[in-house]
Amino acid sequence: MTMATDYSTGAKARPMNKEEKRVILASSLGTVFEWYDFYLAGSLAANISANFFSGVNPTAGFIFVLLGFAAGFAVRPFGALVFGRLGDLIGRKYTFLVTMTLMGISTFVVGLLPGYASIGMLAPIGFISCRLVQGLALGGEYGGAATYVAEHSPQGRRGFYTSWIQTTATVGLFASLLVILTLRLNMTPEAFADWGWRVPFLVSIVLLGVSIWIRLQLNESPAFQKMKAEGTLSKAPLTEAFGRWDNMKIALIALLGGTAGQAVVWYTGQFYALFFLTQTLKIDGTTANLLIAFSLLAGTPFFLVFGALSDKIGRKPIILAGCLIAAVTYFPLFGKLADIGNPKLIAAHNTVKVVVQADPATCGSVFDPVNIRVFTAPCDIARRGLAAAAIKYDLTTGPAGSGTKVTVSGNEVVVDKDFATKVTAAAVEAGYPKVGDPSILKAPTVAGVLTDPRAIQMMGILFMLVIYVTMVYGPIAALLVELFPTRIRYSGMSLPYHIGNGWFGGFLPPTAFAIAASTGDIFSGLWYPIVIAMGTFVIGLIFMPETKDRDIFAND
């Protein structure tokens, strides 16, 4: 059915009509449910590690979960190619119905999957397989939803209309945290660890049914219908989008000058912040989730604010400003989070001297972002063990041929299979906080978080990180849609978006974790998003065109 509204000439200031509201609501709700499914793995990383990776040591298990989380991101560009091509060939609507079904079923399967104790290695293999299916599905979902909404938007209002889609990733994350928190607050920790963590995954089958029903009510995009009626559909959208230099150049600029920086700012402000609170600062999961949830709740409306603002001043200045401000302020903001959340840890970094003395020839690189290396050298084992415990250390040069010697405030700790346990005990005795120390922020109730002065301060900092997210993410859908012509739009915009968010962003947690492990500095992982964000700022400033005034119906 052809839409009554002429979207190519829609008035710039008119309010949404009934049909446009229905399109945005249906597209956004369906996408929220997909993001909810996708982010459960990150929100429940500790529980997944305990159930599916219990056959390995806790540190390795947690990294495996991060990698399982990242596996979904790794295949997103391939999903973008497969489903982007389908979307340009057969239509936007039916393609994202397929992606939604794949996402919902694979999430439901995770909730039913037996643990390592029951089926051994089949458990982690099954979990990672489900993550791969989710990643493929999400690779096709976002481009379809963003393209669909943009092609229903009047000229001059595209930034605002598509910014509703941009809220869905954060709202999906918020929904996952809300479901998890509700369960945590109404169950014993033992019950949640035993079976309660599976409930959010199982709920997805209900969300799948609702999502499919909602999207079946939609009509096909008017731009796609117009092309189909005129016989101008691309016969080979991937070849046209990425096999011709004029289009491929646009995709490269979109990636390096837009989505790469946007992605690392997004994942630093939301997911890495959560990992930093729980894994580095040792704040309990309930408190950390509440802090993140409230910051997301306060910050989410700003996706719409910056989307609408981009219709007035442009997409480019807002996105690049977000990248620059984030890069400049990450170190002080995360430093303040640490000072407030676990002050005893930061004090210990300054007062407890830990030294690793070794012959440089016996110390290799401990950078292992994919956790496939086996470390046997005492120097490497020592550094990784110290870094995993968030213990700051100095590496000094020992005599040629000497062994590795680790001292904590002058007391030697032998490097052997029990090193991690012994060095943690020695650090606690010297002044480091133990897990559950009273000095670590703990406000595991809604009222506690809203009244605790330290929690309020941390929410303020986390809110600032979310504001950066809204700056870079609010206008990005409109920018990507406007960069590519209609006949290859689904394919063209999907690939740079999912390489940026799937690879640059999705691999941020394990990469930052590995960088911190290689240096023993809990803040050093921040260099990864800082360098990427600054690179995007420079490349985008030089090469990225402004697109807000483009007529996407004429951009064929």
Convert 329-340 into a string of H (helix), E (strand) and C (coil): HHHHHHHHHHHH
Residue burial 545-555, b: 16+ Cβ < 10 Å; e: rest = eebbebebbee
Consecutive H or E run containing 128: helix 122-150
Give pLDDT, residue 1.
37
With 0.85 as the threshold, say if the pTM is over it. no
Mean pLDDT of the chain, nearest integer = 84
- Percent of the chain, pLDDT > 70? 90
Predicted confidence at residue 43, as pLDDT, reads: 73
Q: Determine the average pLDDT of the residues in 316-332.
A: 97
Sheet holding 405-408, edge to edge: 394-397, 354-358, 405-408, 411-413
CATH superfamily of this structure's domain 18-341+443-543: MFS general substrate transporter like domains (1.20.1250.20)
95 sits in which H/E element = helix 92-112
Please tell me the predicted confidence (pLDDT) of residue 315: 96
Does residue 546 sit in helix, strand or coil?
coil
Determine the pLDDT at residue 424: 92
Answer whether residue 62 shows pLDDT above 70. no
Instruction: Identify residue 37 by its one-letter amino acid code.
Output: D
Altogether, the residues listed in the chain come to a count of: 556
Task: Report the distance separating Cα 89 and Cα 428, nearest Å.
Answer: 62
Q: Is 239 exposed, middle or buried (0-12, 13-18, 19+ CB in 10 A)?
A: middle
In this structure, the number of other CB atoms found within 10 A of the CB of residue 2 comes to 10
Range in 61-75, 393-407, 434-448 the model is least confident about: 61-75
Reduced to 3 states, what is the DSSP secondary structure of residue 309?
A: helix
Q: What is the 3-state secondary structure (H, E, C) of 333-378?
A: HHHHHHHHHCHHHHHHHHHCCEEEEECHHHCCCCCCCCCCCCCCCH
The residue that leads in pLDDT, 78 or 304, is 304
Q: Does domain 347-430 have CATH number 3.40.30?
A: yes
Encoded tokens for 440: 């670590």
Tell me which range, 51-60, 487-496, 531-540, is most confidently predicted by mean pLDDT: 531-540
Two structure tokens written together for 442: 């703990």
Q: Residue 527 above 70 pLDDT?
A: yes
Using a pLDDT cut of 90, give the percent of the chain over it: 35
Surface-to-core class of residue 209, CB atoms within 10 Å of its CB (0-12 exposed, 13-18 middle, 19+ buried): exposed
Least confident piece of the model among 71-75, 115-119, 526-530, 540-544: 71-75
DSSP output for 474-505: TTHHHHHHHHS-GGGHHHHHHHHHHHIIIIII
Q: Report whether pLDDT(86) > 70.
A: yes
What's the burial of 364, exposed, middle or buried (CB within 10 Å: 0-12/13-18/19+)? middle
- Per the model's pLDDT, the better-predicted residue between 41 and 453 turns out to be 453
* pLDDT the model gives residue 89: 76
How sure is the predictor about 537, in pLDDT bands with cuts at 50, 70 and 90?
A: very high
Distances (CA, A) of 260 to 55, 159, 251, 324: 35, 20, 12, 13
pLDDT of residue 2 exceeding 50, the answer is no
CB 406 within 8 A of CB 413: yes
Per-residue pLDDT, 463: 97
Q: Which of 287, 207, 191, 164 is nearest to 39 (CA)?
A: 207
Tokens for 284, please give them: 């309990």
Residue carrying structure tokens 């303020």: 460
Each residue of 367-424: pLDDT tens digit? 665 555 678 889 888 888 888 888 998 888 988 888 899 999 999 999 988 898 899 9
Which is higher by pLDDT, 56 or 318?
A: 318
Distance of CA 129 to the CA centre of its chain: 19
Contacts of 276 (CB under 8 A, 6+ apart): 334, 337, 522
Closest CA to 28 of 172, 174, 178: 172
The contacts of residue 408 (CB under 8 Å, 6+ apart) are 352, 353, 354, 423, 426, 427, 430
CA distance linking residue 433 with residue 431, whole number of Å = 6
pLDDT per position as a tens digit, 461-519: 999 999 999 999 999 999 999 998 878 887 888 888 888 887 888 778 778 877 887 78
C-alpha distance from residue 492 to each of 81, 179, 401 (Å)? 9, 35, 56
CA 196 to mean position of chain CA atoms: 24
Q: State the pLDDT at residue 94.
A: 78
The closest alpha carbon to 294, from 465, 174, 380, 165, belongs to 174
Q: Mean pLDDT highest for which of 49-58, 224-233, 446-455, 489-498?
A: 446-455
| Domain boundaries defined on the chain | 18-341+443-543, 347-430
Give the pLDDT confidence of 175-218 residue by residue, as tens digits: 887 888 889 888 888 899 889 999 999 988 888 888 788 777 77
**Residue 120: other Cβ atoms inside 10 A:** 12
* Residue of higher predicted confidence among 402 and 430: 430
Q: What angle do CA 380, 384, 385 make, to 5 degrees?
A: 115
Q: Using CA atoms, how far apart are residues 176 and 385, in angstroms rounded to an integer? A: 32
What's the pLDDT score for residue 423? 93
Q: Which residue has the higher pLDDT, 193 or 2?
A: 193
Average pLDDT estimate for 133-144: 80
| Residue 60 banded pLDDT, cuts 50, 70, 90 | low
Per-residue pLDDT of 212-267, as tens digits, reads: 887 777 777 776 777 777 776 677 777 777 888 888 899 999 999 999 999 999 98
Residue 335 has what pLDDT?
96
